[in-house]
Amino acid sequence: MWGSWLNGLFVGAGLIIAIGAQNAFVLQRGLMHEHPWWVATVCALCDLVLIGAGVLGLGALLASHAGLMQVARWGGVAFLSWQAWQAWCRVRRPSSLKADGETRPRLWGVLMATLAVTLLNPHVYLDTVIMLGAIGAQQAMPEAFVIGAAMASFGWFYALVGGAGWLAPRLANPRAWQAIEGGICAILLLVAWQLATAPLSAA
């Protein structure tokens, strides 16, 4: 049991703790105080469901349907490009970059954006459903592997939000916010470009 759990914990952490669109989005929500704990919870729950589904065999089914991956690819490209544009607009208006703005977006809208940035990325399915699913299915106790991977996901996203919450009040200079938003914009555009150009293969 413990071997499968440790494998899930470390393999899951290795795939989840990487600079990408989802992590940039979670960090951004944490810095802006836009329902960050809800965002982290939704991201971690999505990972739990996707990893569990992969271990149960969904990964092989998904890998055989290229059309579904293409829909996710171009939906993800469009959504990430739009998010990058929003970040760039905030860079151009430094007066609007504050840790706790007067207007806070509705929870429902933030959660929908979280689901979009999570589920409209085919590499999420390649990493969690197909790759982790294949590894987990080979474990002595696949359910322990899923629990370990899910714990890595919850721990990472909550740590990311907590770190952003600690950092946000210390960023009083608009220039710092411009640098952060500019970096997030660049990451989102890079991921969008990778989605548009990379072959969607689980091999």
pLDDT at 138 over 80: no
**Contact status, residue 51 vs residue 128, Cβ threshold 8 Å:** yes
Tokens of 23: 């992590």
pLDDT tens for 75-89 read 767 877 887 887 788
Check if the beta carbon of residue 17 is closer than 8 Å to that of residue 158. Answer: no
pLDDT of residue 112: 93
Q: What digits encode the pLDDT tens for the residues 147-157?
A: 998 999 999 99
Number of helices (H), then strands (E), in the chain: 10, 0
- Dihedral, CA of residue 13, residue 14, residue 20 and residue 23, to nearest 10: 20
What whole-number percentage of the chain has pLDDT above 70? 77
DSSP structural state of residue 17: S
- The pair phi, psi for residue 125, each rounded to 5°, is -70, -35
